[in-house]
Structure 1
């Protein structure tokens, strides 16, 4: 078995494996550290990139939505390279391990069937209304979660390679979805998917992306026959030689945006709003944005997550000592949304009578934030991939 960095942590691996093996519900919470295991940048890596160092720019500077109007080449250079990096880099093995656990234990169990029955019978409002020919939601989702759900702040959309769309909540959006840069106040609702064939043309040295129409080579699908070699991950990569992404968005439903609107949006290297032709932007929560007037969150995701949590509350209330494991991986304190959410849900589950434990996995800041919950939180000072491999070795029956 692979040893974890901390002796204290490795001593509790057996307990973690036992909890996961006995769990009736698994809630997965992931942050930037989970993406880092795939070789993708985290916040601090961006400041080490020469093009940004030369201008004294950090992640917060680059994630300013005003840049799409004030300095478009810089804005699209950063987000375009992130988009390219995410599309060409494969999710690490930890996703596959988790997917296997979920399929074996949380998709077909009695608890999963009870959850689906509750969710399928709940009265849901339509998520797919259209406005001026542009759907409010980028795609239609059918089906319901079982005894598993993902809550993530990562914007790389890598969870769609391994998990179903009805069991994913992205609290900060993702770079595969686009919206009008003026938001709901001026242009109304509307999200659309980037075409599978699209790729941004970004200058390697300056990391600037100009508005000219990209060359056919730049627009080749990642990994397509005859395409150029793997793109260098310029935006603060933490690993090199990573695998090419062969499972690209296989569980993300096809978009329902009319083809002529999609073609109009992505006809240039700077995407345009599919409705009003103003500047578009990734549907990602950026710094300084609050409410829903600027960033457009997927209301379908919001509704599905809310319904799931409500349904889980019903199952907890009707089941004595329901065994719930909250597995949090790579969620740091700089943007604490995921950490706060996992501890809040832990507290709610405990107050409802569930037998709940939170496993917090992080190379640093692995300790509980709320001291009152400390006895229900197991801390592991480790990367997510190391932890998952080690625990997987203790669960041979899952394999």
Structure 2
């Protein structure tokens, strides 16, 4: 059955005029990145927060930039360093070889690091920053490093500042309960993706590592493939496709993409 699923998915890719990748945190696991699945998973990745009793949705709250900036930048500064040091796995190159465009909830910049230029980051990017207030809607690239004490996960030393007002800067990431996020960079990416989708008739959607807990990516993948049912869902835990409208591949990203690439090569001969 699984071989038939890969053959069907390969046929969809081979016959498509364009490929859209809809990616959640699961795509980065094979590169060594944590996916923060559940509180226990988050605490395994960041033990100091377990000692503090802080869940992911609690630490990823913009209120900390006002109440405890060293705590806030400790979390995001550590992630910034982690993402900069991470090398995208070979599955990214497979997707790029198919000319894929990307919609992702990830803020890690791994697609750009792998050479993609058309990426819609619906939740923003850790590699860009904005004013905490914000005093302006300006967004600028993150060119600094943040020193973090790994035992406490708190930032040490000077914190990033806004060049306009001199106040605190923060990542241009949509956080939980975030009313101060400056959205125009992400919105421009989303508008470009929407325009492209309207120009494509025979589209296949490859959804990777996107669960149901935060359904943003799944919703986009299902909407984009609604007319044709050309959806390939790669997910080791929640691979089911509703009403049989697509192909389910219950695997990790790298394993599935490697097998898919082989199947596409066979189909193309």
The residue aligned with 1:156 is 108
The residue aligned with 1:21 is 14
CA RMSD of superposed structures (Å) = 2.0
* Aligned pairs, number: 264
The residue aligned with 1:84 is 81
d(CA) in 2 for partners of 1:173 and 1:311?
20
Residue 19 (structure 1) shift:
1.2
d(CA) in 1 for partners of 2:24 and 2:14?
23
d(CA) in 1 for partners of 2:109 and 2:259?
25
Residue 356 (structure 1) shift:
4.5
Match of 1:361 among 234, 247, 250: 234
Match of 1:326 among 205, 216, 221: 205
Q: Describe how 1:23-172 pairs up with structure 2 within 5 A.
A: 23-44=16-37, 45-48=41-44, 49-102=46-99, 148-165=100-117, 167-172=118-123
Residue 307 (structure 1) shift:
4.1
d(CA) in 2 for partners of 1:387 and 1:272?
42
- Asked whether the equivalents of residues 233 and 247 of structure 2 are also in contact (C-alpha less than 8 Å), the reply is yes
Q: Describe how 1:264-343 pairs up with structure 2 within 5 A.
A: 268=158, 270-289=159-178, 293-297=179-183, 299-316=184-201, 323-343=202-222
- Asked whether the equivalents of residues 17 and 200 of structure 2 are also in contact (C-alpha less than 8 Å), the reply is no
The residue aligned with 2:252 is 383
d(CA) in 2 for partners of 1:307 and 1:199?
31
- Asked whether the equivalents of residues 364 and 381 of structure 1 are also in contact (C-alpha less than 8 Å), the reply is yes
d(CA) in 2 for partners of 1:307 and 1:87?
26
Gaps of 5+ in 2: none
Match of 2:148 among 186, 199, 202: 202
What SS does structure 1 have at the residue aligned with 2:149?
coil
- Asked whether the equivalents of residues 168 and 301 of structure 1 are also in contact (C-alpha less than 8 Å), the reply is no
The residue aligned with 2:139 is 191
- TM-score, normalized by length of structure 1? 0.63
d(CA) in 2 for partners of 1:359 and 1:396?
17
- Asked whether the equivalents of residues 154 and 172 of structure 1 are also in contact (C-alpha less than 8 Å), the reply is yes
Residue 194 (structure 1) shift:
1.2
- TM-score, normalized by length of structure 2? 0.91
- Asked whether the equivalents of residues 361 and 384 of structure 1 are also in contact (C-alpha less than 8 Å), the reply is yes
1:143-191, Cα deviation, whole Å (9 max, x unpaired): xxxxx420000010111123443x11000011100001113xxx12100
d(CA) in 2 for partners of 1:308 and 1:330?
20
Q: Please identify the structure whose Cα radius of gyration is greater.
A: 1
d(CA) in 2 for partners of 1:15 and 1:75?
46
Gaps of 5+ in 1: 1-7, 103-147, 213-267, 317-322
- Alignment of 1:344 onto 2:229: no
Residue 314 (structure 1) shift:
4.7
Residue 315 (structure 1) shift:
4.6
